[in-house]
Amino acid sequence: MLNFVIQSFQMKDKAIKRAETICAQAIKEKKNTQPHQMSVCFSSAFRFDQLSDSIKAFENQPGTHVYSRYGNPTMESVAAKIAALEIAGSDISAHGLLTSSGMSAIYLAVTALLGKGDMIITQANLYGGTTELFNKVIQPQGIKLVYIDLSNLEKVEKALRQKPLHKIIYLETPSNPTLHCYDIKALAELASRYHAFLIVDNTFCTPIIQQPLLLGADIVLHSTTKFIHGHGASTGGVVLVKEKTLFHQKIWQTMKLIGVNSNPMDAWMIQLGMMTLHLRMERHSENAFLLAKYLSSHPKVSHVNYPFLSYHPSFEIAKKQMSAGGAMLSFEAKTDVSGSKKMIDRLRLAAIAPSLGETGTMVLHPATSSHLKVDPELRKKEGITNGLIRVSVGLEHIDDIISDFDTALKKV
């Protein structure tokens, strides 16, 4: 292969003879065959044959390649694939941008749409990192935060009637880590009535289980680090938008200026994981449902949060907008905080790790990790108790997963 590359380089330009020039110039290679797997474009910038081509590209940047912070073929292809999943089975279109993380996707979407004096209406039972971002970064920019129960549509409508012109309803459903579900369609209708935007974090479900854009959401976010990639080897996020003008004039324009874009290697890793996403989500959901049923009947477990358990408060909403229960659950054992921590330490198959959505089962103690910086009283009010344990149920054999938790619970 090396000999072929050298020969093709030599044949292209007989005038290039000096070692320094050969080293400095990029290889330009024409291929008669296409690779079976997606190629990766690692270039940070893109060259033009004529200055006039460069001028045209800068005058009409969306869809052209100038600089990888503005857009890159690899990242764009992967974002388009995720967007296609979000609207699969429909006639609508969607547009996507890959970001460096799930948190940067949230920051991009919010700051692209809101400014000083505007408002975010959201739930109190959010992922702890999102709450911290809103309180410590977004609120100091002069953006008002309203935390309310998003299942109470009268309260939501009252908040929407308030003075700020530009508003967002920010929704996480199911919520992390209490697995509460909210009615996306009803909230989308309210948002539309009052000219607000509805943003939905769809990380827990992925488009395989839930498609918020088809239920009326304006923007959907994912941490691709989790289920979409699914193997714990890539960090990223994605912003997905229905309306083309909103995407280009707000989301893309903001992204290219603040530089929260992903990179070609992470994008390639994401698309590799996506090839098995539908299979993984099916197995994740099957295992999680069986583990939830086992835990709910265990004498040493006080309660289990899983949206597809018939007694779960959000069961009817979950069944309406989700095709399966997903991989995530949380539960509390009949013991004190010390006992819960000891139970976690006795797990052998499940990994203690601050992430989710990977092939292996993972556990987290929210009060001392993801929600450590959230006010303790707010945590308690929203059901994020000191004894709550979050589980991302993996793809192992269900008997091995149950056996691991059974052994740990016996010693509580």
Please state, in angstroms and rounded to a whole number, the distance separating the CA atoms of residues 322 and 181.
Answer: 10
Catalytic residue among 69, 293, 334, 341: 69
CA 323 to chain centre: 18
Please say which residue of 249, 274, 299 terminates a domain.
Answer: 274
Quick check: is 38 in a domain? no
* Residue-level pLDDT at 5: 41
Catalytic (active site) residue 226: yes
Catalytic residue among 183, 201, 218, 404: 201
Residues 230 and 281 reside in one and the same domain: no
Closest CA relative to residue 382, chosen from 176, 129, 106: 176
What is the DSSP secondary-structure string of 99-149?
ESSHHHHHHHHHHHH--TT-EEEE-SS--HHHHHHIIIIIGGGT-EEEE--
For residue 8, the enclosing domain spans: 1-33
CB-based contact 28:12 (threshold 8 Å): yes
Residue by residue, pLDDT tens for the chain (412 residues) are 444 444 444 445 555 667 566 556 665 666 677 788 889 999 999 999 999 989 988 887 666 899 999 999 999 999 999 999 999 999 999 999 999 999 999 999 999 999 999 999 999 999 989 999 999 999 999 999 999 999 999 999 999 999 888 999 999 999 999 999 999 999 999 999 999 999 999 999 999 999 999 999 999 999 999 999 999 999 999 999 999 999 999 999 999 999 999 999 999 999 999 999 999 999 999 999 999 999 999 999 999 999 999 999 999 999 999 999 999 999 999 988 888 889 999 999 999 999 999 999 999 998 777 777 777 777 777 677 778 999 999 999 999 999 999 999 998 8
* Residue-level pLDDT at 218: 98
Quick check: is 46 in a domain? no
Residues 281 and 212 reside in one and the same domain: no
Quick check: is 258 in a domain? yes
User: Residue 211 corresponds to which tokens in the numbers above?
Assistant: 């498609």
Residue type, 86: E
Please state, in angstroms and rounded to a whole number, the distance separating the CA atoms of residues 371 and 390.
Answer: 12
Please say which residue of 257, 274, 291 terminates a domain.
Answer: 274
Quick check: is 191 in a domain? yes
Catalytic residue among 127, 147, 170, 306: 127
Catalytic residue among 144, 147, 183, 226: 226
Residues 263 and 197 reside in one and the same domain: yes
CATH number at residue 344: 3.90.1150.10
Quick check: is 48 in a domain? no
Catalytic (active site) residue 390: no
Residues 255 and 287 reside in one and the same domain: no
SS3 content of the chain, % helix, strand, coil (to 5): 45, 15, 45
Quick check: is 45 in a domain? no
Residues 218 and 245 reside in one and the same domain: yes
Structural domain count, the chain = 3
Question: With the C-alpha atoms ordered 149, 153, 154, 156, is the resulting torsion angle positive or negative?
Answer: positive
Residues 65 and 26 reside in one and the same domain: no
Residues 3 and 62 reside in one and the same domain: no
Please say which residue of 254, 274, 294 terminates a domain.
Answer: 274
Give strand ranges (E) for 290-349. 301-305, 328-333
Question: With the C-alpha atoms ordered 110, 114, 116, 122, is the resulting torsion angle positive or negative?
Answer: negative
Catalytic (active site) residue 127: yes
Residues 92 and 213 reside in one and the same domain: yes
| Radius of gyration of the chain measured on its C-alpha atoms | 24
Residues 219 and 95 reside in one and the same domain: yes
Residues 251 and 383 reside in one and the same domain: no
Q: Which residues, in sequence order, are bridge partners of residue 170?
A: 122, 199
* Residue-level pLDDT at 2: 40
Residues 256 and 373 reside in one and the same domain: no
Residues 354 and 327 reside in one and the same domain: yes
Quick check: is 353 in a domain? yes
Q: Which residues, in sequence order, are bridge partners of residue 119?
A: 144, 167
CATH number at residue 180: 3.40.640.10
Question: With the C-alpha atoms ordered 99, 103, 106, 108, is the resulting torsion angle positive or negative?
Answer: negative
Catalytic (active site) residue 406: no
Quick check: is 49 in a domain? no
Closest CA relative to residue 298, chosen from 367, 389, 361, 214: 389
